[in-house]
Structure 1
């Protein structure tokens, strides 16, 4: 989504601010979807952002498990390697086990052209409302999403700079021969935290293939992966907007109300 969504002919072809929205929908529950929103002046839209959103959602929804309770998380996602299908996501899955939030975490990848996620329906609802709305700033985007589904309002989680953490992508060993972009189903467990399990299909009849993902010292017994209790911010300060885009945004100020003008003037530029 882009702001401001002006229709004046003088600004029709000028560059706008990009607003990002990550949907997290719990299957099998009547709870509304969570919408994690931010704009390009706060963070990018890669694996760091996706992993950080999921981690914040987990900490919002759950508390660490007391023993011997069990809890399983299954993540359904598309195959986008830069966001969902990568080693940072696998490290996050293992980290959620280490932190005690879950005893088993799985990730299943949808088959392009043959599958549908509930998030797609939510995005369609938001897109329809977006076309009917005047959006001057990211605040308007959040309000529009909140009101897009009156019967069951989405839960808007506004991500700030401090929410995006430089979560690890290299704590786990990367086994030779394992192509994570070619498997359909991945699993990590608390009972066997030093192994990653993979399947080439979604079939329950296919056996799991295990891959060693801990990094044991030579001759030593494998130990569970070690994750730090805290990771630094991914971005110490707001991200600068590209110079040409910033100049375009400044030319739109005359068509915006005072509050919106103040927001765009506060953005950093290259």
Structure 2
């Protein structure tokens, strides 16, 4: 998997619906249908051998002199006819070989009027001959046999020409009301474009570019709305055809992690007790909230030349052991943590495997706190991306606003320490509006979860590592990287009482020895000194953090009981015995170390 597609429109933000080349369903390829193949063979003369279809003698006065034609002459006429696969062109070729005249005199051979055929035209048939400069006259039977066409087709061509003096046009098939049909299709396209859609949060389903309409809609409802709006009866099949073949749309599930402010404003605006003035104020606040959310993604998409942009986040915990048996739903399981760092190249860019770094550690090795997050990010910047960061003029970081992991002074201290390695590096850390924190890293997590969901049983961390290696570079704690105690080092160097609340920050500027803070995306930074008197950032020397389990005794009992129910091998049992060896009744940090 050399390149992983990334669509840089993010969930939680409405965007207009646009037609998608190819749509959600493929259009019918009629060229490969059996009926179409037979038609091609029929119109190309396949499996037809041109032969003489009569036994007339080639006398000087005979109307049929087919005996003069050699097999090569028959094949020459056959090839000239079928080199035109179009029916209209073929019938024009037939006309060149016919001599059609009006009947000048009719003799009464049959006295019975009902049985008499009063023909109004006379037709003479001929073929080309390579050894004769003029056409060779033949009968109708041979004419039809040479070209492999019916006598009725020849008669229809001659009759139409006798009546109109023109070649017979194509009258088969075709839409009877093509202009009206196309106009109605265009109206349907415009109606579908009047809706707003959202991209998938994690990209878990569908092809790249799939967007989702509100979950309370469906194609039937949209068709009814179209008919009510345009006052025109339209078949459901036509609306469905446009929906699936011109757009790549689905219908999203009801949101479970939606923005609470968005939900609050939507409810307030629809309250019947509000006055018009109050409704306008609520609407204005809602619009302002949405603009702030959009501004975050605008900043994320603007990748300046010479700058490195990183997005990072924690993935949902992976469980060990993963098993489909029913007991697993009622048992506590050990966690494998994953921290992802993605190098972002701007809007509509692709996520390559080399741009994704995945840091993993087990619950029995450490908790999921700011020390581990800061240590993993530090390793990524100092080791994995050392050359790229060293050559850049600035580092732009984007993450969610989780206080216990990303948005705290321990992370600030780590980034200030990073500037000791890269003195000329400017660092900005940007946080989204709450409820709108859908980052490029979530796209990677979605693809990983999609892969893991297809596997019923995973017993060892190495099995997870093998899956993760398909999506990025995997760095295992204790083998590829170490954790440092930034929390203790920060307490020694940073003042406890600060002149700002980091929880209110939208952007941080860490390009100098002072911490620059903005509570809005626009405006100027306000810089604050956070170091204790006599301390410098060079004095920040975090020590290596020893491994310490955060598994509790109750979870240990559940995991061991679950292993017994599964019936694992001795190798798997030995891994869990070693991982849970230090767990006691007093073990214990929680999974999330809130600060």
* TM-score bin (small chain): 0.7 to 0.9
CA, structure 1 residues 247+114, in 2 after alignment: closer, same or farther (shift >3 Å)? Answer: closer
Please tell me whether residue 52 in structure 1 is matched to residue 375 in structure 2: yes
Is it true that 1:200 corresponds to 2:519 in the alignment?
yes
Change (3 A) 1:14 1:115: closer
Of residues 463, 466, 481, the one that matches 1:140 is 463
The answer as to whether partners of 2:458 and 2:464 remain within 8 angstroms in 1 is yes
Distance 1:184 1:240 in 2: 32
In structure 2, relative to structure 1, the CA distance for the partners of 1:8 and 1:85 (3 Å cut) is: same
Specify whether residues 227 and 100 from structure 1 end up closer, same or farther in structure 2 by C-alpha distance, changes over 3 A only. farther
Distance 1:113 1:231 in 2: 33
| 2:234 pairs with 1:234 | no
- What secondary structure does 2:427 align onto? strand
Map of 2:483 onto structure 1: 164
Q: Counterpart of 2:326?
A: 9
- 3-state SS of paired residue (1:213): coil
2:429 counterpart residue number: 107
Contact preservation (8 Å) 2:484, 2:542: yes
DSSP-derived class of the 1:36 partner: strand
C-alpha spacing 1:11/1:78, structure 2 compared with 1 (3 Å): closer
CA contact 2:367–2:550 (8 Å) conserved in 1:
no
Of 105-114 and 120-129, more deviation after overlay is shown by 105-114
Aligned to 2:380, the other structure's residue is in SS state helix
Contact 2:338 2:359 in 1 (8 A): yes
Contact kept? 1:62, 1:101, Cα under 8 Å: no
For residue 138 of structure 1, report the CA deviation from its aligned partner.
Answer: 1.4
1:211 corresponds to which residue?
Answer: 528
CA RMSD between the two structures: 2.6
- Residue 248 to residue 85, structure 1, CA distance change in 2 (3 Å): same
Counterpart of 2:560 in structure 1 is 250
- Contact 2:495-2:531 within 8 A present in 1 as well: yes
The number of residues matched between the two structures is 252
SS for the counterpart of 1:226 is helix
Deviation (angstroms), 1:76? 0.5
Q: CA deviation at 1:173?
A: 3.5
For 2:490 and 2:530, locate their aligned partners in 1 and report how far apart those are by CA, in whole Å. Answer: 12
> In the aligned structure 1, how far is the partner of 2:423 from the partner of 2:446?
32
1:247 deviates by 1.6
State the Cα deviation string for residues 41-80 of structure 1 (Å, max 9, x = none): 1110011010010111112224489x9x763221101010
Q: Would the aligned equivalents of 2:337 and 2:368 in 1 still touch at CA under 8 Å?
A: yes
Q: CA 1:173–1:102 in 2, change beyond 3 Å: closer, same or farther?
A: farther
**Higher relative contact order (Cα pairs below 8 Å, separated by 6+ residues):** 1
Contact preservation (8 Å) 1:36, 1:53: yes
Cα distance in structure 1, aligned partners of 2:497 and 2:551: 39
Shift of the 212–154 alpha-carbon distance from structure 1 to 2, 3 Å rule, reads same
- Normalised by the length of structure 1, the TM-score is 0.83
> Is the partner of 2:503 in helix, strand or coil?
coil
C-alpha contact (below 8 Å) 1:64/1:101 kept by paired residues: no
How far the C-alpha of 1:233 sits from its partner, in A, is: 2.4
CA contact (8 A) 1:73 1:102 kept: no
SS of 1:249's equivalent?
A: helix
Structure 2: segments with no counterpart, 5+ residues: 1-317, 346-350, 585-595
Contact 2:499 2:528 in 1 (8 A): no
Partner of residue 356, structure 2: 33
Which residue matches 2:420? 98
Q: Output the CA distance in 1 between the equivalents of 2:424 and 2:458.
A: 39
Deviation at 1:104, TM superposition (A): 1.5
Greater helix content: 2
Structure 1: 5+ residue stretches without partners: 148-152, 218-222
After TM superposition, give the deviation of residue 264 of structure 1 in Å: 0.5
Alignment equivalent of 1:225, drawn from 534, 537, 540: 537
Is residue 198–residue 208 contact of structure 1 (8 Å, CA) maintained in 2?
A: yes
Listed one character per residue, the Cα deviations across residues 184-227 of structure 1 (whole Å, up to 9, x for unaligned) are 000112xx32x111111222xx111111223335xxxxx74233
1:70-117 alpha-carbon deviations (Å, 9 max, x no partner): 632211010100001101011111111123376212110011233420
Structure 1 CA distance, aligned partners of 2:437 and 2:359?
A: 23
Alpha carbons of structure 1 residues 252 and 232: separation in structure 2 relative to 1, 3 Å? same
Match of 1:220 in 2: none
